[in-house]
Amino acid sequence: MAISEKDFIRALEKNGGWTSQTAKALGVSHQAVRQRLLRNKKLMMKQQEIKEMYLDLAESKVVKAVNDGAAWAICFYLKCQGKHRGWIETVRNEHSGPDGGPIQTEDKKPDYSKLSKDELRQLHELYEKLYAKD
């Protein structure tokens, strides 16, 4: 049975524009909903409009929570909207060696004397190939 455009839009609206939930509500596969959206620009635009409406709603709830003094909302808002004022969350990674000391590195140089003339030639050819200027 074909789903009318009106019923399709109603399902999108009831499910926040989300494809999976819309498919479940309509009793069809996620792929079927996705294909219909791709084929019908009007439906795709309606889906985007619905998602934007829900984004506006969510933003208004955050603003209300900020106005109500909710610490989580204030922190979230500053992290998202206050970056240009320095309200950013940074992660600092420190690396050290054993017991907090410096990282030890070995500067090993290859011992080419262990290679035969043929192996040296092959190595040289590989080097030339890897670092050839195009």
Q: Give the residue, 105 or 61, on which the prediction is more confident.
A: 61
Q: Rounded to two decimals, what is the model's pTM?
A: 0.58
Compute the C-alpha angle 66/72/77, nearest 5°.
55
What number is the average pLDDT over the span 96-124? 89
What pLDDT, on the 0 to 100 scale, is given for residue 133?
76
Three-class SS state of 105: coil
Integer CA distances (angstroms), 60 to 19, 66, 83, in order: 24, 10, 20
Per-residue pLDDT reduced to its tens digit, 34-90: 999 999 999 999 999 999 999 999 999 999 999 999 999 999 999 999 988 988 888
Residue 62 is assigned to a structural domain of this protein: yes
Pair 50, 16: CB distance under 8 Å: yes
Residue 41 is assigned to a structural domain of this protein: yes
Residue 25 is assigned to a structural domain of this protein: yes
Residue 43 is assigned to a structural domain of this protein: yes
What pLDDT, on the 0 to 100 scale, is given for residue 1?
63
Confidence grade of residue 110 (pLDDT, cut at 50, 70, 90): confident
CB atoms within 10 A of CB 20: 12
Provide the domain count of the chain.
1
From 17, 16, 14, select the one nearest 43 (Cα to Cα). 17
Residue 131 is assigned to a structural domain of this protein: no
Residue 121 is assigned to a structural domain of this protein: no
What pLDDT, on the 0 to 100 scale, is given for residue 53?
95
Three-class SS state of 51: helix
Residue 33 is assigned to a structural domain of this protein: yes
Per-residue pLDDT reduced to its tens digit, 2-37: 999 999 999 999 999 999 999 999 999 999 999 999
Strand segments (E) across the chain: none
Half-sphere exposure of 110 (CA within 13 A, CB side): 6
Q: What is the span of the domain harbouring residue 39?
A: 5-85
**What is the phi/psi pair of residue 3, to 5°?**
-95, 125
Residue 20 is assigned to a structural domain of this protein: yes
